[in-house]
Amino acid sequence: MGLKVRSVVYALATYTIYTTYSYARAREEISFREKEYSKREIDDEDHRWDILNIHGRYENPFKEYRPQTIYEFFIMRVIELSKFGPRGGVEDDVTIRKDNLGIKVTDSSINFWKSLRDKCKESGLLAYTWFGQSCGIVNSSDKIFLMDPLFENSIVSEKFGPKRIVPCVVNIDEIVEDIKPDYVLVSHDHPDHLGEGSIRGLSKLEKCEWIVPMGIRDILENNGIKSDKIIEMKWWDRNKLNEEFEIVCLPAMHWSGRMLYDSNKSLWCSFLILKNGKSIFYHGGDTGYSEGVFKRIGDIYGPIKFAALPIGQYCPEWHQAPRHISPSESIKIMNEMKIHKMVGVHWGTFVLSSENYLEPGELLKKESENLEKINNIIVPVQGKSLIMEEGKIDFNNDDLVKETGNDFILYN
């Protein structure tokens, strides 16, 4: 056996032993926490979903989680390459893709997005605009929150992709020069949630603050973000931004890493925005479904006015379920967290799994129709803004909808 072959064998053996050990240690800690929880004397003593760190890497404290090994990763790539036809059912014609996704961004869209800041401040409105994947902006009062910034038209490799199904409806220069977010929230460091070009572009905003989970500081600083503009948080941390707004960092069942070697060196999370002590927006980032944790969040912070929950990248289920939720699971989370309105994101942007690129939106639409909640369970369109009364939460009556023009939808 040659030196190169032996090196590969030793590396794989070391990786396999470490991965098996980490998983066994995580299961042991999960079991210990469950036992401690069963012995609790007061309701507040619930540490089942606190951060779990094993030998310097974060692990999932959820019994449903199963790590994706490099073996499973490469098996899935072989399965995908063996399939015939365009991956995700994506048509060759970009115009057809835009029509299927309902994208009709006009020249006046930027001016409209610019005006949202004043509109929300003057009228007590909450607005959300989706820019693809989990990237979007939230307007409340005179503040703008940008979620998981990704304005590049490809991830991992510009030449080989994966590439966007349709070009991004807004570019980073327009975000910086016209929209000018006050805060950027990053759920984790995966390339489809955090673009390095987007970071460099946003570094031009001197007053913009970044709120991120532990371990993401380095990538931000390496791309021009000043250290004093970065707030790192752990699960269950609560940080006051100003007199009106607070941010809560919350658990998610996922993983992190931009390369194979840096897996789980940084934390992943979801975020909740509070305004004057009330929950106005939940950013789900990426997560699989785990029993109990979302109900716990809802018990502490519900009701929540609005949420962006991921609904794509769930097929095949045996491979994706520990890390991503389906449209039906997003509704389950919505109910457990006492979320008034939700929008389904993380689909229709890249083809990263086996389902048809339109399927997540179609399934969510069917669910909303079956539940007669078409104005509370919302299928978004990239570039359209959803505007609603910030303080109105009525779980007993579905709200009326008024659509105005091509640029936005108004939820009364």
Domain ranges of the chain: 3-81, 87-411
What percent of the chain has a predicted confidence (pLDDT) above 90? 78
Assign 1 a pLDDT band (cuts: 50, 70, 90). Answer: low
Give the model's confidence band at 82: pLDDT under 50 very low, under 70 low, under 90 confident, else very high: confident
At 384, the pLDDT band (50, 70, 90 cuts) reads very high
Provide the β-strand partners of residue 161.
157
Q: What Rg, from alpha-carbon coordinates, does the chain have?
A: 21
- According to DSSP H, which parts of 175-325 are helical? 196-202, 217-222, 293-301, 317-320
Model confidence at 402, in pLDDT bands (50, 70, 90)?
low
> pTM for the complete prediction?
0.95
In three-state secondary structure terms, 306 is: strand
Distance CA(84)–CA(87), nearest Å, equals 8
Q: What is the pLDDT of residues 273-308, one digit of tens each?
A: 999 999 999 999 999 999 999 999 999 999 999 999
Which range (13-17, 82-86, 288-292) has the least confidence?
82-86
Residues 6+ apart with CB under 8 A from 397: none
Q: How confident is the model at residue 403 (pLDDT cuts 50, 70, 90)?
A: low
What does the alpha-carbon distance between residue 275 and residue 141 come to, in Å, rounded to a whole number?
9
Q: What is the pLDDT of residue 273?
A: 98
* Tens of pLDDT, residues 85-130: 678 999 999 999 999 999 988 778 888 899 999 999 999 999 999 9
Going by pLDDT thresholds of 50, 70 and 90, the confidence category of residue 410 is low
- Tell me the average pLDDT across 253-269: 93
pLDDT of residue 409: 63
Mean per-residue pLDDT of the chain: 92
Greater pLDDT, 9 or 60: 60
* φ, ψ (nearest 5 deg) of residue 317: -60, -40
Over range 331-352, report the average pLDDT: 97
- The class that CATH gives domain 87-411 is alpha beta
With CA atoms as reference, report the closest residue to 146 among 111, 197, 182: 182
